[in-house]
Chains A and B, each alone.
Chain A
Amino acid sequence: NAGVMQNPRHLVRRRGQEARLRCSPMKGHSHVYWYRQLPEEGLKFMVYLQKENIIDESGMPKERFSAEFPKEGPSILRIQQVVRGDSAAYFCASSPPVLETQYFGPGTRLLVL
């Protein structure tokens, strides 16, 4: 059973470009979470999604960031008009029903030049 897949593993963007980060949950998992890890810091929750629904986006910045988890295909975290402060590692996790353990992917390391 493959684990949580994220791609790309590394992404370099220039200021003002868009970044798209993809996450494929473990087989049988219908819940996806995105976390951001800034340099020298712990992980901070961003958003929690089920298929076609955003359940909790309390950790998402109000502007430029959006997330989706369509009926088919991976979950996408989209950052528009990136700035240097967006440079971080973005981790996706998945779980089966709510209140179960979350399993993390390897992360996407975004560098904004």
Chain B
Amino acid sequence: GNSVTQMEGPVTLSEEAFLTINCTYTATGYPSLFWYVQYPGEGLQLLLKATKADDKGSNKGFEATYRKETTSFHLEKGSVQVSDSAVYFCALRGMEYGNKLVFGAGTILRVKS
């Protein structure tokens, strides 16, 4: 079945540091890939997405590229801020019938000033 694996956290960075959160997936065919962010006590917000190989999703300084050859969708940001502290979830939507998302376990990001 479909699955998503994320790097374990927490990830602790200083402000303005470079961020990478690794995400790899297992799926048949060509799934769509997503990054969602969850701030404390809130629901999930879509951060970015990519629907086909080599697509790059980007938003608010975050980027992720859909790599079919390595089945990866790593999240990157060049300079993190304290306000980026949150839990980040990688997810996929497979090609089988239905629209359900399969999530990774989430990675906690803590940014210190």
Contacts and interface: CB of A to CB of B under 8 A. Distances in A.
Interface string A69-103: 00000000000000000000001010100111111
Given A99-B93, A101-B49, A43 B44 contact: yes
Residue among A58, A59, A93 facing the most chain B CB atoms (10 A cut-off): A93
Interface in B5-53: 32, 34, 36, 42-46, 49
A68 B97 CA distance: 20
Residue among B36, B97, B99, B103 facing the most chain A CB atoms (10 A cut-off): B99
A45 B2 CA distance: 12
Residue among A43, A95, A98, A101 facing the most chain B CB atoms (10 A cut-off): A43
Interface residues of B, number: 22
Chain B interface secondary structure, helix, strand, loop or mixed? Answer: strand
B72 to A, nearest CB: 17
Interface string A22-51: 000000000101010000011111001000
Interface of B: 4, 32, 34, 36, 42-46, 49, 89, 93, 97-106
Interface of A: 4, 6, 31, 33, 35, 41-45, 48, 55-56, 58-59, 91, 93, 95, 98-107
8 contacts: A35-B101, A41-B105, A42-B105, A48-B98, A48-B99, A55-B98, A101-B34, A106-B43
